[in-house]
Structure 1
Amino acid sequence: MRARAADADGAVDAAARYYALALAARPGSEVVAIRAYREGLASGDLALARRSLAVLSRAGVAPPDAAVLEFADAVAARRRDRAASAVQKLGDSPLEFLQPVLAAWLAVDGKNPEVALQLASREGDALDRRYASENHALILLATGRTAEGLAAVHAQLGALREDQQFRLAAASLLAGHGKRDAAQALLAGGDPVLVLHRERLGRGPKDDARFGASRFLVRVANDLASEETAPLAIALARAALILDPAFDGARIALAEALSQEGAAAKAREALAAIPAGSPFVREARSAEVTVLARAGDEDAAVRTATALSFEPGGSGEDARRLGDLLAERARFAEAAAAYAVAIEREGAPPNWALLLQHGAALEQAGRWDAALPALRRAVEIAPSEPLALNYLGYAQVERNENLPAAVAMLEQARRLAPEDLNIADSLGWAYFRQGDAARALPLLEEAARANDVSGTVQEHLGDVLWRLGRRYEARYAWSAARLDADEPMDARLAEKISRGLAATGGTPRS
């Protein structure tokens, strides 16, 4: 019970200690062993994790990710036979998609490049192909096929941030083969993370299974970083650190997964282990912002994000992160200033989503005169983006400005995203503002059927129902809206329930 209470508080070190005591008292208990296994991984008590795993394995109930830990232990101990056996266990589990890539890197260790490349070229579903194609390119580099490898790397690269780790892995392999110019070229650009890696590019790691498998497991752990899959992401990140204890990218992935599990102190401990000289140090500070914010330490998160944004080398992404934090805390004027910095740093052409965030923050700060040009520019750049069309259209409807054009925008947004209930609400409200309550009603009823419907939608629906003479239903909708109302909105709704709809004044979106 003490272990469970500590786990619920995110105190994974204490939870692991208590589970270790429970396991010692009940050494054959599978129920205790599975909990001890998870807490051992979360706390970094790998001896407890391995002891628990032995219990689960003897009972035939080891979780699928246990094979990944076995693989890492075997590769680190240079026991290729045991590593191959662990990979084989993945074949009949939900983690089967890990099998071909881990087997391919094991073949690299065995000096079987053709087998490795064949395994990394395995046909499969989209998930198999996604990871296999990346690792096929890295294995080409690792086995000295530089020209083919570079071509394959460039075929995989895109503009998304998730390509960054792949880019870094490829650059490390190139540096290890003496191809520093090619490695530097892969890390070109002004992104502060790439700049750090470019400046601190060493001679490269040994191109073996420890390198390749650790990068692959971290790639998957990052993809799995959500509250539902955090225990698996923790297991993969721990296995990556067993394979390559110097790989700070694995510590960042571990911190993210621990944070998702509510273990904020342990997550910060993982980040604190990254030395100041590491090329991952800037990513670690960015990750710390997320950990602090998720743990509810808002002031510390904002301070850290502010320092990161305004120090030399601060990027547009750093400024945007700060803006997001400030906007979430209703500090809209400051958020707008941060988004303006992000737009300036990112340069031309401006990103429509960033313009939308800037305009929205200005609007929420009460600066409609400054917000309108930013929102219009976002729509000009992205005329087929429903989010931009909806925001600008609704904002103008609320102010009774340019109604025909605003309604046209919302109708276009509706055509582009007919399933979006926020857009259904916006368009229904626009029709109501134009005096067509009958046309508004089905859209607002559709929006109100959502399980997570907002109080604003219910208030809109109540206003329309009242205008159509359905006053009992209107009061019911307004009463429902009070469940999601702040103090000013609640007072307005109470007045409507008492006296009816005196006017069709604006209903601010919550």
Structure 2
Amino acid sequence: MRSSLRKLLHSTATAIGMFTASLSASQAANEFTTDSDSHSLLGSYLAANLAKGSNDNNSAAAFYRSALALDPSNAVLLEQAFQTEAAEGHWDRAVPLARQLVAKDAENRMAHLLLGLDSFKGGDYQKADEEFRKASDGPIGELTSALARAWAAAAAGNAQRALKLLEMPKQAEWAQFYLNYHKALIADVMGRPQEAQVAYEHSMRQDATTLRIALAFARHAAHEGNFKRAKEILDAQSERAQSDPHVLVRELRDAIGPDKKTELLITTPVEGMAEVFYGLGEALTSEGGLSMGVLYLQLALYAKPDHAFALAALASAYETGQRYQDAIDAYDRIPPGTALQSAIDIRKAFDLNSLEKVDEAKAILDRLVKQSPDDLKPLDALGNILRARKRYAEAAEVYTQAMKLIPKPDKRHWSIFYSRGTCYERLKNWPAAEADLRKALELFPDQPLALNYLGYSWVDQNRNLKQGMALIEKAVALKPDDGYIVDSLGWAHFKLGNYAEAVRFLERAVELKPQDPVLNDHLGDALWRVGREREAKFQWDQALTLDPEPEEVEKIKKKLAEGLPPSVEARAGPRETMRRVHQKRRKETKLNPALVE
């Protein structure tokens, strides 16, 4: 189901991007060739596009406003200004722009969604229904329209109509999941627990892994007095996660009992409407439709400004776009006292680190360690930040402190040993490094990063060559599309003098990661060794354009001028590759505190 949704969201986002691009390219020529085509108008328009392309939406919105003031009937400016203001949650400006936009473009889906939500907030549920109905273009639009209209009907007190609007048997399986989920929520809010029970069971059969569904269903069961069923749902969720139970699961399980009243997840139509846009917005952002996903998340927050999950998802989207201060600001809007506070603070620390505010990041994590001395997560985060900053001795101490909290290590703890092992390796304490890397693999034998690091280290030291190559080859087999790991195999072949094999794997690595200077540099070296000197120089030249580490620049320039000497020893370039592997891992494992503890 998730893969089908991914394909649809990708095609929808692509279509929106193409539509916007076509507006900018084809209509701009017509729209900006009028008497009002002054330098200030065109300059503001171009500055807005430049700011938007740099993820500076606040500046883009200001430039679009300036341009629109000079040419208020310009369709291109109207569309772009509306999208930018809505994406920033500037509703006092976005709502009037939406009204102007639908007057020019009666089929503008996002404008109708905002106007529908605005009417819903104002209590005009009939007008909201009309606007939402006009937003039903395309599969995503059709689903959004149905869900929003259903909650508008629920707000009007018409439970039968609300549930009827969600009867859409021709919709795809992924859409049926959302339809059943909201059918359950609406039935609960409207006092129809038996219908809610059936819909929840159906949703769980479709996707039992989603945390939000498990929380909603467990709350429903506990609310109806079925405490045993509620705990079964939560326990099953924890077992599927194969890790420590999520903090929200633990919190809810502890709160369930005959002497405690459990609230439903969604208690009002306003919360239900926010859930529509949060659920679809989070799915869009996680599947690559970042721009439209952010719009949906902002609509969720227009409905319910303190929606913690929507705020966390919005912050995560900002992190994806490298808008780290905006991410911090979004996290700061989450109401205090949530069980997610520790995870939120950890994310803020990572964002501060990305803003080069390392001391502030460390201060947050130090505070968390003092507040919760038995919690591994702040220590792991602190170690990762210090390691990324090449403060290996400090990082190793932090990982050692974390290990003291693990009475019996298991698969979940492989990364602590792996991370400390890499620190020891960089500190040239190989016996300690090897012991930790071996332990990481003992806990998780098929972990590609640990296989790759230990295997390459052996080859690099001319020790355990056969075993080392076997580990790297296993890592590549497990992650054949990871350019950094494929590069390690190619560079290991280079170190062993297997230049033809080195070229084969290094060419593949560069295909996978064409913008990495280290991989291009490695390929250049291998090409030179097999006599393809012109191609080698091309790769070295390419490496120089990709912002290599300062200490590598002169080495590459020297190779461009002189080539490789006949008996050159392979330098320690792969260590830089491994550093990039670590950066990639940290990026891949960024926590969304709304979803992962």
Cα separation, 1, equivalents of 2:516 and 2:109: 40
Calculate percent identity across the aligned residue pairs: 26
CA contact (8 A) 2:422 2:433 kept: yes
SS in 1 for 2:505: helix
- Match in the other structure for 2:440: 378
Residue 321 of structure 1 and its aligned partner are, at CA, apart by 3.3
Distance 1:46-1:314 versus aligned 2 partners, 3 A rule? farther
Q: Choose the corresponding residue for 1:392, options 424, 431, 454.
A: 454
- Match in the other structure for 2:175: 128
Cα separation, 2, equivalents of 1:260 and 1:475: 34
Residue 369 of structure 1 and its aligned partner are, at CA, apart by 2.2
CA contact (8 A) 1:210 1:244 kept: yes
Q: Choose the corresponding residue for 1:285, options 337, 340, 345.
A: 345
- Match in the other structure for 1:46: 91
Residue 405 of structure 1 and its aligned partner are, at CA, apart by 0.9
Residue 60 of structure 1 and its aligned partner are, at CA, apart by 0.8
- Match in the other structure for 1:56: 101
State the number of aligned residues: 507
Residue 503 of structure 1 and its aligned partner are, at CA, apart by 3.3
Deviates more, 1:199-208 or 1:317-326: 199-208
Cα separation, 1, equivalents of 2:533 and 2:55: 50
Q: Choose the corresponding residue for 1:350, options 411, 432, 436.
A: 411
- Report Cα offsets for 1:37-88 as digits up to 9, x if no partner: 2343345431211100011100016643333323322333333323333332
Q: How do 1:6-155 and structure 2 match up within 5 A? A: 23=68, 26-60=71-105, 63-93=108-138, 95-96=140-141, 97-106=143-152, 108-109=154-155, 110-112=157-159, 116=163, 119=166, 122=169, 124-125=171-172, 127-132=174-179, 134-135=181-182, 138-139=185-186, 141-142=188-189, 143-145=192-194, 148=198, 151=201
- Match in the other structure for 1:412: 474
- Report Cα offsets for 1:326-369 as digits up to 9, x if no partner: 33333334444445556665764232455444433443443332
SS in 2 for 1:65: helix
Residue 408 of structure 1 and its aligned partner are, at CA, apart by 1.8
Distance 1:286-1:229 versus aligned 2 partners, 3 A rule? farther
- Match in the other structure for 2:429: 367
Q: Choose the corresponding residue for 1:209, options 256, 269, 292.
A: 269
Q: Choose the corresponding residue for 2:487, options 425, 430, 433.
A: 425
Cα separation, 1, equivalents of 2:513 and 2:410: 39
Distance 1:444-1:131 versus aligned 2 partners, 3 A rule? same
Cα separation, 1, equivalents of 2:353 and 2:320: 11
Cα separation, 2, equivalents of 1:362 and 1:26: 63
Residue 312 of structure 1 and its aligned partner are, at CA, apart by 1.8
Cα separation, 1, equivalents of 2:51 and 2:274: 27
Q: Choose the corresponding residue for 2:552, options 464, 471, 489.
A: 489
Distance 1:227-1:124 versus aligned 2 partners, 3 A rule? closer
Deviates more, 1:136-145 or 1:238-247: 136-145
Pairing 1:303–2:363 present:
yes
CA contact (8 A) 2:424 2:430 kept: yes
Cα separation, 2, equivalents of 1:342 and 1:153: 39
Cα separation, 2, equivalents of 1:353 and 1:80: 52
Cα separation, 2, equivalents of 1:266 and 1:417: 33
Distance 1:95-1:77 versus aligned 2 partners, 3 A rule? same
TM-score by length of 1: 0.79
Q: Choose the corresponding residue for 1:237, options 286, 297, 302.
A: 297
Deviates more, 1:93-102 or 1:15-24: 15-24
Q: How do 1:242-281 and structure 2 match up within 5 A? A: 242-258=302-318, 267-281=327-341
Deviates more, 1:257-266 or 1:366-375: 257-266
Cα separation, 1, equivalents of 2:341 and 2:149: 31
Deviates more, 1:205-214 or 1:168-177: 168-177
- Report Cα offsets for 1:358-393 as digits up to 9, x if no partner: 433443443332222332333344444444433322
Distance 1:34-1:280 versus aligned 2 partners, 3 A rule? farther
Q: How do 1:462-473 and structure 2 match up within 5 A? A: 462-468=524-530
CA contact (8 A) 2:136 2:145 kept: yes
Residue 239 of structure 1 and its aligned partner are, at CA, apart by 2.1
Which amino acid is 1:95 matched to? I
Deviates more, 1:387-396 or 1:165-174: 165-174
CA contact (8 A) 1:463 1:501 kept: no
Cα separation, 1, equivalents of 2:234 and 2:394: 33
Unmatched tracts of structure 2, length 5 or more: 1-42, 236-243, 256-260, 577-597
Residue 108 of structure 1 and its aligned partner are, at CA, apart by 4.7
Residue 218 of structure 1 and its aligned partner are, at CA, apart by 1.7
- Match in the other structure for 2:582: none
Residue 155 of structure 1 and its aligned partner are, at CA, apart by 5.1
CA contact (8 A) 1:428 1:443 kept: yes
- Match in the other structure for 2:505: 443
SS in 2 for 1:503: coil
SS in 2 for 1:95: helix
Deviates more, 1:256-265 or 1:68-77: 256-265
Distance 1:257-1:385 versus aligned 2 partners, 3 A rule? closer
Unmatched tracts of structure 1, length 5 or more: none
Cα separation, 1, equivalents of 2:439 and 2:124: 60
CA contact (8 A) 2:102 2:112 kept: no
CA contact (8 A) 2:277 2:296 kept: yes
Residue 478 of structure 1 and its aligned partner are, at CA, apart by 4.6
Q: How do 1:156-235 and structure 2 match up within 5 A? A: 163-170=210-217, 191-192=246-247, 203-204=263-264, 207-225=267-285, 229-235=289-295
CA contact (8 A) 1:191 1:315 kept: no
Deviates more, 1:413-422 or 1:225-234: 225-234
CA contact (8 A) 2:82 2:98 kept: yes
Q: CA RMSD in A?
A: 4.3
Residue 501 of structure 1 and its aligned partner are, at CA, apart by 4.2
CA contact (8 A) 1:43 1:266 kept: no
Distance 1:371-1:438 versus aligned 2 partners, 3 A rule? same
- Match in the other structure for 2:463: 401
Deviates more, 1:81-90 or 1:140-149: 140-149
Residue 262 of structure 1 and its aligned partner are, at CA, apart by 6.4
CA contact (8 A) 1:76 1:243 kept: yes
Residue 323 of structure 1 and its aligned partner are, at CA, apart by 3.5
Q: Choose the corresponding residue for 2:381, options 293, 316, 321.
A: 321
Cα separation, 1, equivalents of 2:63 and 2:170: 46
Residue 397 of structure 1 and its aligned partner are, at CA, apart by 1.4
